[in-house]
Amino acid sequence: MGEDTKTRVKESQEEGRQEMWRSIEIVGSVEKWASTVVVGDELNFIPPLNFAMVDNGVFRSGFPHSANFSFLQTLNLRSIIYLCPEPYPEANTEFLKSNEIRLFQFGIEGYKEPFVNIPEDTICEALNVVLDVRNHPVLIHCNRGKHRTGCVVGCLRKLQRWCLSSVFDEYQRFAAAKARVSDQRFMELFDVSSVPISFSCSNK
């Protein structure tokens, strides 16, 4: 191989190595930037416990804390349905005021089996708020987002004509090991005719 050929091969190899290192540097910078964005999002936008979308404009969760406020702002909430009897904390009340969010409180005691008394009339009142699109977007929450919230959502599903097995599957997905037979019995026996407002959403 002539000297000129060797020189050209060497120069080509050097250029190849430079391109490779340049590519590695660019990729590394992009990955570093992307990971920073993801970490930033996780720090600034933390959903409440058991958060999920129920339907268009309807959400559910456990009790939201101050760490969750930035995330809640992204939902542009108009209303919150609070299913516990305890007073709403001052920090949460201030958050509602500053974001012009209306609070609907339906104080349902957090009874444990076998001493359970789920007030059907209160569930109906909460459902009427959920069904009124003027209150959307709306967040339904209790303490853990399992039992009281699960009952309201389960009764909503019956209004949407979901089959009972699908209603129970959804309830159990959030309640997990804490699922209660009494809650499921309540949803099974819930009389949809007691809620006069019709609701047209997804069936299942």
* Residue 28 located in a structural domain: no
**Domain membership flag for residue 198:** no
Give the amino acid at 137: P
Q: CB-hemisphere CA count at 13 Å for 6?
A: 3
Q: Residue 79's closest CA among 117, 135, 8? A: 135
Residue 27 resides in a domain: no
**Residue range 158-179: mean pLDDT, rounded:** 90
Residue 89 in domain: yes
- Work out how many domains the chain is built from and give that number: 1
The residue from 142, 155, 163, 201 that is catalytic is 142
Which residues constitute the domain of residue 134?
Answer: 52-189
- Whether 39 is in a domain gets the answer no
CA atoms 103, 108, 112, 113: torsion sign? negative
What 8-state DSSP symbol labels residue 127?
Answer: H
The beta-strand segments (E) located in 86-170 are: 102-105, 138-141
C-alpha dihedral over 36, 38, 43, 49, to 10 degrees?
-160
- Please confirm, yes or no, whether 151 is among the known catalytic residues: no
Any domain includes 40: no
Would 129 be classed as within a structural domain? yes
Q: What is the CATH number of the domain that holds 107?
A: 3.90.190.10
How many CB atoms sit inside 10 A of residue 64's CB? 23
pLDDT band at 59 (very low <50, low <70, confident <90, very high): very high
Q: Whole-model pTM?
A: 0.73
Q: Which residue has the higher pLDDT, 24 or 57?
A: 57
Confidence of residue 33 (pLDDT cuts 50, 70, 90): very low
Q: Answer whether residue 67 is part of any domain.
A: yes
Tell me what pLDDT residue 115 has.
44
Give the integer Cα–Cα distance in Å for 43 and 184: 36
- How does DSSP assign 163-189, residue by residue? -HHHHHHHHHHHHGGG--HHHHHHHHH
86-101 per-position pLDDT tens digit:
999 999 999 999 999 9
